[in-house]
Structure 1
Amino acid sequence: MSIARLDFELPNAGAGPDSLSLDAFADDHDAIVLLFQRDYHCGNCKDQLQDVAERYDEFTERNVAVVSVLPEPKARAREWQESFDLPFPLLADPDTEVGDQYDQPTRFGALGELHDLVGRMPQTVILDTRNDDLDAHSIHEGDSPADRPSIDAILGELDDLLAA
């Protein structure tokens, strides 16, 4: 993937700058894990974020940041932040422009594209940020609401990437 495809700027309801530019944020980390969520009501999404938050020190020890992208307005993202007190950015992507930019999977054709609740699937993208470019190291496209890599699997991918 090229830098134009990977870079974006979105409003942030979580930790970090109010508006987060991925390219600028990448300067301070060796890798970034992007967690593309389904929607505000997704229980699997909420569980994943809480699990990452509980183990976030394992990411920071590797000089890795996690950034969650929620296809909802900033007010909805702020509600999650107030509920979960996440130690990482929680970005609002209400028009799903960034999700679409990263080819976040959807199912059920046109119906799924219209309604995130039934169509949008989770996606995890690991970016190598050690060079001047942002390089997509790995992408996990969920084919069901629960299809997400475990925290241990993500950390294992990061260890492989950072050892190279």
Structure 2
Amino acid sequence: MPATAHSLDFELPNVAAGPETVSPASLDADFLLLLLQRDYYCKVCRRQVQSVKRRYDEFEARDTTVVSVLPDPPERAQKWQQSYDLPFPLLADPGAEVGDEFDQPTRFGALGKLHDMVGRMPEAVLVDLRDDDPDVVYTHRGSSPGDRPELDDLLKRIDKLAA
């Protein structure tokens, strides 16, 4: 099922930069890059947010807000923030509702759906927020824990949309 504007109708607690809760509707940006993570223990997820942190100024220069969503409680997400001091929102989604809304991929059938660390795969969603009706313009649905889009590719996509 493709993501829709309805998929963007959420508000979650934020443990990093920005307000206490974040919803796509509250963002003052042209674009939103939503990074749906696997779980707290995922080392590739941790490396991804650190890579984005190092290059966050490039996203800001393109009026793009990056939001990382961790399917864990706020207390656990807060540990990531204490370790990485992210300059962008890190949302806690203990029920994995946003991932489910975006049909975040899982593997290993029912077992994978029960245990995020085993089954949940990463997903990156690029949203154009310039109109009153946000538009999901790109989705990368990972087929393995390390299957993520390159940051350069994401920045090029944003540049093409902004042109």
Q: TM-score, normalised by structure 1?
A: 0.96
SS state at 1:88 partner: coil
Deviations 1:43-94 (A, max 9, x none): 0000000000000000000111000000000001100001000000000010
1:156 matches 2:156 = yes
Find the counterpart in structure 1 of residue 11 from structure 2.
9
- Work out whether residues 7 and 98 of structure 2, in 8 Å CA contact, stay in contact via their aligned partners in 1: no
| Structure 1 position 160, deviation (Å) | 1.2
Pairwise CA RMSD of aligned residues?
Answer: 0.8
SS state at 2:98 partner: helix
CA distance in 2, matches of 1:69, 1:5: 14
| Structure 1 position 162, deviation (Å) | 1.1
One-letter amino acid matched to 2:7: R
Aligned length: 161
CA distance in 1, matches of 2:104, 2:133: 21
- Work out whether residues 53 and 87 of structure 2, in 8 Å CA contact, stay in contact via their aligned partners in 1: yes
* Structure 1 stretches lacking a partner, 5+ long: none
| Structure 1 position 3, deviation (Å) | 2.5
Identity percentage of aligned residues: 57
CA distance in 1, matches of 2:5, 2:153: 26
Find the counterpart in structure 1 of residue 88 from structure 2.
88
SS state at 2:67 partner: strand
Deviations 1:11-64 (A, max 9, x none): 001100101122111xx1000000000000100000000000000000000111
CA distance in 1, matches of 2:9, 2:160: 23
Find the counterpart in structure 2 of residue 144 from structure 1.
144
* Structure 2 stretches lacking a partner, 5+ long: none
Q: TM-score, normalised by structure 2?
A: 0.97
One-letter amino acid matched to 1:148: R
SS state at 1:94 partner: coil
- Work out whether residues 32 and 128 of structure 2, in 8 Å CA contact, stay in contact via their aligned partners in 1: yes
Find the counterpart in structure 2 of residue 108 from structure 1.
108
Deviations 1:88-126 (A, max 9, x none): 000001001111001111111100000000100000000
One-letter amino acid matched to 1:145: P
